[in-house]
């Protein structure tokens, strides 16, 4: 859910604590080389160091990051004032990591190639009127600074989000920057979000596919020019539809599965009618993109959809199509669905390995890939262990690797192997498919299966 850039300060209730893992996981590289903790710092109010001068290790282990972590550990995150990434928790089992100076390097990197934008979105913090570009000493990220950071972090990175504020593809070397990562560190999952309008030639689209980028999201908030342009001021809806269509065609011409193509549609008061949303579904299916999903926002306050408020019947109607559900999809024939049937009675000896059989069917759309170089988006069978009262004991009890990819409608008899609990008794095992690096299929409405496990 998109939130306000400067949310009001939170007053904690008894038993509540502030919680955030970003200072232990992520760094964000701004267009002028300044590093901040997270992606919710558009005006660079919490700088931690300059990557043009310092190494990321010096910044990551430096005084500002240390104070960010210490403040969260002591429940006094004074440097995190007005950051909407911070959460409030009351569960005592949820704790911050103990290290103030981690021995490891960040696993996720946000990159802001350009702070300027070719559009001026309505009341957005990065539109032309708000002057966000004046908060950066450089509007375009220096290529040498970028490659320096990538070379340092690349071996341990899991994911790069190649966008922040502004439009990434204004940068003349944007596609080269993507290729640099994927050629040197193919294990890194590289995701970008864009208004898409500058990917306006076949040459750019071919180079993008060739770069090895894993996933791209097009921000398209409407299904017609007159609705789309109310937020994306200066945009051209028909031009964007042609670009998205051409990207899918070029992927097919090049026999490439990548990038995975999303259409993200922010719901406002002017574009949340059944007619407009159904038209978007129809267009997305015709484009043959991979995913369409709805983004819920509370900003701008006078424009956010009042129809699709979390907790309402209208919201529940589309809850499996929401962006925040990592596998949510409004394209019906591309939803992830599984039919899972455990075979026979599951029995095991305490603490020992046991084998069982499961029948699987890919009852949704698209192919379940069984391998991935980035360790993301391939599909496995996940087992979750519950006690005899069906209370969850271990959400990641075991995984079963598929021996091959599974096409839509295809069946598979799978032999699984897992280690039984140490204590004897009756247990339940919940089975669900997992899109690794993203979510369980259950999160997008796919049925699960449950079977009893007798441990002797």
Between the alpha carbon of residue 17 and those of residues 3, 14, 238, the distances in Å are 20, 9, 48
Q: Which residue has the tokens 């280690």?
A: 419
Burial of 411 (0-12, 13-18, 19+ CB in 10 A): exposed
In whole angstroms, what is the distance from residue 212 CA to residue 161 CA?
A: 14
Task: Report pLDDT for 9.
Answer: 65
3-state DSSP call for residue 188? Answer: coil
In whole angstroms, what is the distance from residue 410 CA to residue 412 CA?
A: 7
Task: Report pLDDT for 123.
Answer: 87
Question: How many other C-beta atoms are found inside a 10 Å radius of the C-beta of residue 176?
Answer: 14
Task: Report pLDDT for 129.
Answer: 82
Q: Which residue has the tokens 């232990």?
A: 24
Burial of 297 (0-12, 13-18, 19+ CB in 10 A): buried
The string of DSSP letters for 307-318 reads SS-TTSHHHHHH
Between the alpha carbon of residue 161 and those of residues 26, 28, 107, 110, 154, the distances in Å are 10, 9, 11, 5, 13
Structure tokens of 411? 């069946």
Q: Find out whether 211 and 182 touch, Cβ atoms under 8 Å.
A: yes
Give me the average pLDDT of each 10-residue run along the chain (456 residues): 49 92 98 96 94 99 98 94 90 94 98 97 84 92 99 98 98 99 98 99 99 98 98 98 99 97 98 98 98 93 93 96 96 96 97 98 94 94 98 97 97 97 98 97 97 98
In whole angstroms, what is the distance from residue 411 CA to residue 236 CA?
A: 44
Q: Find out whether 343 and 359 touch, Cβ atoms under 8 Å.
A: yes
**Phi first, then psi: what are they for 393, rounded to 5°?**
-105, -40
Q: Find out whether 290 and 234 touch, Cβ atoms under 8 Å.
A: no
| Domain annotation for the chain: domains and CATH numbers | 18-334 (3.80.30.10), 338-455 (2.60.40.10)
What is the sign, positive or negative, of the torsion defined by CA atoms of 266, 270, 275, 276?
negative
Structure tokens of 160? 């790069």
Burial of 117 (0-12, 13-18, 19+ CB in 10 A): buried
State how beta strands 449-455 and 425-435 pair.
antiparallel
Task: Report pLDDT for 1.
Answer: 40
């Amino acid at each position: 859910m998109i939130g306000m850039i400067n949310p009001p300060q939170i007053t904690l209730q008894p038993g509540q604590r502030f919680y955030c893992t970003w200072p232990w996981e992520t760094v964000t590289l701004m267009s002028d080389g300044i590093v901040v903790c997270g992606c919710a710092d558009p005006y660079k109010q919490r700088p931690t160091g300059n990557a043009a001068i310092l190494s990321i290790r010096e910044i990551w282990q430096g005084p500002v990051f240390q104070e960010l972590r210490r403040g969260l550990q002591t429940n006094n995150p004074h440097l995190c004032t007005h950051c909407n990434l911070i959460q409030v928790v009351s569960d005592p089992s949820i704790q911050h990591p103990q290290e103030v100076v981690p021995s490891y390097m960040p696993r996720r990197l946000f990159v802001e190639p350009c702070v300027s934008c070719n559009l001026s979105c309505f009341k957005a913090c990065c539109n032309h009127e708000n002057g966000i570009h004046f908060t950066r000493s450089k509007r375009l990220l220096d290529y040498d600074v970028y490659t320096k950071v990538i070379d340092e972090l690349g071996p341990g990175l899991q994911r790069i989000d190649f966008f922040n504020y502004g439009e990434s593809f204004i940068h003349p070397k944007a596609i080269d920057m993507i290729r640099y990562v994927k050629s040197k560190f193919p294990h890194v999952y590289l995701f970008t979000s864009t208004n898409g309008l500058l990917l306006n030639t076949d040459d750019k689209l071919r180079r993008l596919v060739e770069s090895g980028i894993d996933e791209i999201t097009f921000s398209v908030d409407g299904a017609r020019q007159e609705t789309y342009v109310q937020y994306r001021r200066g945009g051209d809806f028909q031009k964007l539809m042609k670009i998205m269509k051409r990207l899918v065609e070029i992927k097919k011409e090049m026999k490439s599965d990548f990038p995975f193509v999303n259409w993200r549609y922010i719901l406002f008061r002017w574009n949340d009618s059944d007619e407009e949303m159904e038209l978007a579904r129809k267009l997305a299916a015709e484009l043959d993109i991979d995913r369409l999903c709805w983004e819920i926002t509370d900003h701008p306050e006078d424009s956010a959809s009042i129809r699709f408020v979390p907790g309402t019947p209208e919201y529940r109607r589309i809850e499996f199509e929401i962006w925040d559900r990592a596998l949510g999809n409004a394209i019906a024939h591309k939803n992830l669905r599984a039919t899972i049937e455990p075979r026979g009675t599951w029995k095991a000896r305490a603490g020992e390995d046991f084998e069982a059989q499961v029948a699987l069917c890919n009852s949704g759309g698209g192919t379940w890939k069984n391998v991935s170089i980035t360790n993301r988006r391939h599909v496995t069978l996940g087992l979750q262990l519950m006690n005899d009262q069906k209370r969850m004991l271990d959400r990641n009890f075991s995984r079963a690797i598929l021996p091959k990819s599974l096409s839509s409608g295809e069946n598979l008899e799978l032999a699984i192997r897992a280690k039984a609990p140490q204590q004897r008794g009756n247990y339940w095992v919940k089975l669900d498919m997992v899109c690794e690096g993203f979510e369980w299929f259950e999160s997008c409405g796919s049925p699960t299966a449950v079977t009893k496990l007798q441990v002797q």
